[in-house]
Each structure stands twice: as structure tokens, then as C-alpha cells.
Amino acid sequence: MASITPSLHFVLFPLLAPGHMVPMIDIARILANHGSTVTVITTPLNANRYKSVIARAVATNHKIQIIELELQLAKVGLPEGCESFDTLPSPALAYKLIAAMDLLQEPSETAIRKLAPAVSCIISDSYMPWTADVALRLNIPRLVFHGPGCFWMVCMHIVFTTNVLTEIKTDSQKFVLPGLPDRIEVTKLQLMGTTRVETTDRTGFRSRVEEAEKHTYGFVVNTFHELEPEYVHELAKAKGKKVYCIGPVSLCNKDNLDKAERGNKAAINEHDCLKWLDANEPGSVVYISLGTLTRVPTDQLIELGLGLESSNVPFIWCIRTKTEELERWFSESGFEERVRDRGLIIHGWAPQLLILSHRAVGGFLTHCGWNSILEAVCAGQPMVTWPHLFDQFLNEKFVIDVLKIGVSIGVEIPAPLGEQDKVGPFVKKEDIKSAIDRLMNKNEEGELIRKRAQELAKMANIATEDGGSSHLDTKLLIRDIGEQLAKTAN
């Protein structure tokens, strides 16, 4: 349905990381579907990842374009090709990529000034705070996008605006986070998602992000009201800003090609994958994927493989990077041969949306990235939660303690950033088998989790349909930006 203000022009600045780029591309398509013109500003490598899906959107009369800007990698000390956080040789170099993104401010503003029709609004990832300065100079509204949902944002607001952490004596001490609608027990390490808790803003970057948010018009969130209604309300109250819940944005992918290529070209032929799933009983398969940025040590991958084997449950296991060590283990141990009849192993990128929505899949072992959680919710899939870093531990709390649609694998300490390959397995094969058994067994616990997951799936799909809460929030966003522009013009 066309927007009431179809002439609006949104410029999107996604963070250079798959977990943020993917939903931002979906947001671009959603806005274009409502009649707006959309420009995505990113780098050549990232643009290339999404050109095919954008081309299909343009072919259906959606007004979307990508502007490619070069990063000054040499200037910040990064090698050529490091245009995304998943392409960095080490996570420790993340600060250099952020410095390179800062250098995009001037060429971005120059590009925006040349665009026609004139830009109506900037939607920027929170980790690109300089876009606030651009928006102020151009006298246009700026909306902020955070990767996770409202629950995480409310938790972080409490952490950074109160003294809650000063009373906690150790990083591993458990305590209840105050001021939340639900009882959420965490540690400092889990809150911050890292093994090094910084109580001060040494680099000043967080202060820049917070200062930029003071000048923002509101927040665009990949969630829907029915998933976390109390936290949507709490976020709007805490920030004093408008909050637009327009997700789950993955549901804008309607055909199998868009689903298969969401975020990247699938490393496996999706038809082969679906054919394998077709041969399995409904709800019998567990899907395993630990995300694009998670660097899992070989010893832990081996332990995961042995846990899957001992569970006796059919599985699809997506392994992002197959190391020489893992290749050798596969070859020498005979693992692939032993599980050939009930296991499909995918190396690289998997068509996750297609897999999760297949009738044969009955559970998802996930790293608790927000995109993966929402994709599971949309498909009605219960989860085994295995967080590693950053927002993933709070996301796990949301799945287990708020939504009650998962089983925790038992990880309580974040992986050491940049040193994951140097440590042994955190999770033993027995723990993996136990968690999968709890999720997939047809006992009372498993049935309650599955029932709740299926109820949420219905809500998610209704939210994005014509007249649903997210559909209405998208229309409201477009209307509000149109009215805001009219005020500034008078």
C-alpha cells in the first residue's frame, strides 16, 4: 500500500557488519514498498553482497539505490578488503574499522547534497554517530537503528544511566537488574558481553553515541509490539523519543530466492538443502548456526559435532569457517561418514530463512544474535541458546526468561574477544546432547516451549501484514517524518 507521503527520500547508513547490514537492507525495501525513495550508503564490498536483492526490488518498481564510498583503509592501518567486521583478521582491529567509518562523514555529506529528490530523513546505525552532525547541518530528521531489540536497549540504558554496577563487587557476581518488568539475573560480564568490563568510557566513543542520540528524532527497531510490549513502552519513556517497531523485517522476504540470498549468496544450493529436509519427519530436525562473527575454536566445534552425534537427532549444521584442523578431524575421525544418514553439514553460508521455515525443522541451536532470534520467532522455532559475545547474553535472557521459548546450554562467561581460538571448549558434548534432548523431546517442557513459539510466530506474521502493528508503525514513521519536514519548511 502506498504511503500518504510517497515523495519522501530516506538515506540509510548501515554498520559494516552482516548482522546490521542485513536488517537495514530489509528496512530499505520496506520503506520503498510504502512508496518512499531509499538510498543506502555503504562500501563496495558490502554493496556487492546485496546488489542482487536490491536489483529484484528495483525490478518491481521499488525506488532503491546504493551509493558506494571507498574506505580509507590504509590511513587507519587496515589491509585492503577489510570493509566489514567479518572480514577483519582479528576482532581486536574493530576500532580501526570504526575510525575508517568516521572518515566517511565528508564524502557522505557531499553525496547526500547531490541527491534528488532532496533527502527527507537519515536512518543511521548507532555506531555511526557522525551522521547526527550531517543531519543537523542539512536540517533533516535522523532516526537511530540499534541491531538488538527494545529489551536490550532498556537494559543498556539502565547500565549507563545508573550506578547499578558500582555496587557489584566482582565481574562474575550474579545480581538482579533493577527497574525491569521481568526478573533478569545477570553478571557484569553477561551485561557487557565481554570478558573485560569497562566501567569508564576510555575512548569516548560511547559518549559520542549518546550525545548523537540526544539530537535524534527517534528509534527504528527490528521488533514488533506484541513481542516485547512493556519494553517498547519503557524504551520510549527512558529515551523520551519516538520508537518505531517495524519488524520482524525478515518477513519482507517473500519468495524463496530472497530468502535464500538474505545477507549473502548461499554456499549450498538451496534446492539440495530443501530436498534433504523433505526426506525428514516434521519437527524432527535441529538446525545449528553460531553466526557470522562468532569465532569458535576447533576443539569446541569438535565437541559440538560429538554432541550432535550422541543426541541421535537429525541435524543441519552450518559451519562458517572450516579450518585445516577441523578438516583433518573430519577426515581422520570418520565423523561425516558416521552421521551421513541423519546429518547435513554446510560450510559457509546457509539459507537460514528457508531452513527455519521448513516443516522438518523442530529446533534451532543459536548464538543468540538478534536477527537469528527473530527469524526463529517468525518460524515458530524453539531454541537452544548458546551466547558468545556482546548483546547475545541479554538476548538469551530475553528468550529464556521473558519469552520462555528456549533452553539454555549453560554458558555463563563470554568468549575472550580475539582469543577464542586459544581456549578449549566451554561446552562439553554431554551438555550439548542434554540441551538438544530437552528441546526436542515430546515431554511437557518441550511441548510448552513449542506451543509458545508457535503462538509468537502467528503474532509476528500478523504484525507485518496490512493493518498489523509493524505495518502501522511503518506508516506512522513515514507520516511523522513528512510532518516534521513540513514544520521545518514553514
Q: What is the pLDDT of residue 264?
A: 57
Average pLDDT over every residue of 50-68: 85
Average pLDDT over every residue of 396-416: 91
Q: What is the pLDDT of residue 3?
A: 40
- Per-residue pLDDT reduced to its tens digit, 292-329: 777 788 888 999 999 999 998 999 999 877 788 888 88
Which residue segment(s) compose the domain that 437 sits in?
264-461
pLDDT tier for residue 471 given thresholds of 50, 70 and 90: very high
% of residues, the chain, pLDDT over 90: 62
Asked whether the beta carbons of 241 and 219 are under 8 A apart, the reply is yes
Residue 426 lies in a domain: yes
Residue 259 lies in a domain: no
User: Between 405 and 340, whose confidence is greater?
Assistant: 405
Q: What is the pLDDT of residue 253?
A: 86
- Checking if the pLDDT of 379 tops 80, the result is yes
Distance in Å from the first CA to the final CA of the chain: 29
Shared-domain flag, residues 115 and 152: yes
Q: What is the pLDDT of residue 424?
A: 45
pLDDT tier for residue 331 given thresholds of 50, 70 and 90: confident
Shared-domain flag, residues 468 and 456: no
Shared-domain flag, residues 175 and 38: yes
Average pLDDT over every residue of 255-277: 70
Sign of the CA dihedral 337, 339, 340, 346?
negative
Q: What is the pLDDT of residue 391?
A: 92
- Per-residue pLDDT reduced to its tens digit, 67-95: 999 999 999 999 999 999 988 888 888 88
Measured CA angle at 278 (ends 274, 279), to 5 deg: 125
- Per-residue pLDDT reduced to its tens digit, 197-230: 565 565 688 889 888 998 899 999 999 999 999 9
Q: What is the pLDDT of residue 250?
A: 94
Shared-domain flag, residues 29 and 77: yes
d(CA 280, CA 457): 22
Q: What is the pLDDT of residue 408?
A: 94
Residue 240's region, left for phi above 0, alpha for psi from -120 to 50, else beta, is: left
Shared-domain flag, residues 240 and 269: no
Say how many domains are in the chain.
2
Q: How many CB atoms lie within 10 A of CB 338?
A: 12
Shared-domain flag, residues 16 and 65: yes
User: Please, how many CA atoms are within 13 Å of residue 327, restricted to the half-sphere of its CB?
Assistant: 6
Q: What is the pLDDT of residue 269?
A: 54
Residue 132 lies in a domain: yes
For residue 315, the SS3 value is strand
Shared-domain flag, residues 203 and 243: yes
Average pLDDT over every residue of 415-426: 58
d(CA 171, CA 477): 40
Shared-domain flag, residues 352 and 395: yes
- Per-residue pLDDT reduced to its tens digit, 2-26: 444 447 999 999 999 988 999 999 9
Average pLDDT, the chain: 89
Residue 339 lies in a domain: yes
Longest Cα–Cα distance in the chain: 74
Residue 154 lies in a domain: yes
Shared-domain flag, residues 67 and 122: yes
The answer to which of 86-100, 131-145, 471-485 has the lowest mean pLDDT is 86-100
Average pLDDT over every residue of 382-406: 95
Asked whether the beta carbons of 342 and 314 are under 8 A apart, the reply is yes
Cell of residue 142, nine digits: 535522523
The answer to which of 167-171, 282-286, 359-363, 459-463 has the lowest mean pLDDT is 167-171
Q: What is the pLDDT of residue 280?
A: 93
For 37-87, strand residue ranges (E) read: 37-42, 64-68
% of residues, the chain, pLDDT over 70: 92
d(CA 301, CA 451): 31
Domain CATH number, residue 468? 3.40.50.2000
Asked whether the beta carbons of 9 and 39 are under 8 A apart, the reply is yes
Asked whether the beta carbons of 417 and 194 are under 8 A apart, the reply is yes
- Checking if the pLDDT of 258 tops 80, the result is no
- Checking if the pLDDT of 267 tops 50, the result is no
d(CA 456, CA 446): 16
Distances 23 to 73, 145, 187, 255, 335 between C-alpha atoms, Å: 25, 10, 29, 17, 36
Shared-domain flag, residues 269 and 159: no
Shared-domain flag, residues 319 and 457: yes
| Burial of 133 per CB tally in 10 Å (0-12, 13-18, 19+) | middle
Shared-domain flag, residues 56 and 183: yes
Residue 52 lies in a domain: yes
- Per-residue pLDDT reduced to its tens digit, 111-124: 999 999 999 999 99
Residue 142 lies in a domain: yes
Residue 257 lies in a domain: no
